[in-house]
Amino acid sequence: MNCVICKHGTYKAGKVTVKLERNDAIVLIKDVDAEVCDTCANYLLDQETTRKVLALADERFKSGTELEVIRLKAA
């Protein structure tokens, strides 16, 4: 599949760091499985991974964190 952003690259399996912000808080989630464009590094997450990432970030935001870096654990 051609990249939806640059239109030149193709997606390949890889790992990314996802940055999520809410108000003044930032959560970085490392080692997230994704399909990554080999040209511009745009990435796509599947539904299950997206659910995990959003749930993990929401938990951290609710705990009052201002900045947190965490590693996504494999299922």
The answer to whether residues 15 and 25 touch, using CB atoms and an 8 Å cutoff, is no
| Per-residue confidence band for 67, with pLDDT thresholds at 50, 70 and 90 | very high
The answer to whether residues 16 and 56 touch, using CB atoms and an 8 Å cutoff, is no
According to the model, what pLDDT value does residue 74 have? Answer: 63
In this predicted structure, the answer to whether residue 75 has a pLDDT above a threshold of 70 is no
| Mean pLDDT within 47-57 | 96
| Per-residue confidence band for 65, with pLDDT thresholds at 50, 70 and 90 | confident
- What are the chain's domains? 11-71 (3.10.20)
| Mean pLDDT within 66-70 | 93
- Whether pTM exceeds 0.75: yes
In this predicted structure, the answer to whether residue 73 has a pLDDT above a threshold of 80 is no
- Distance of alpha carbon 25 from alpha carbon 62, whole angstroms: 10
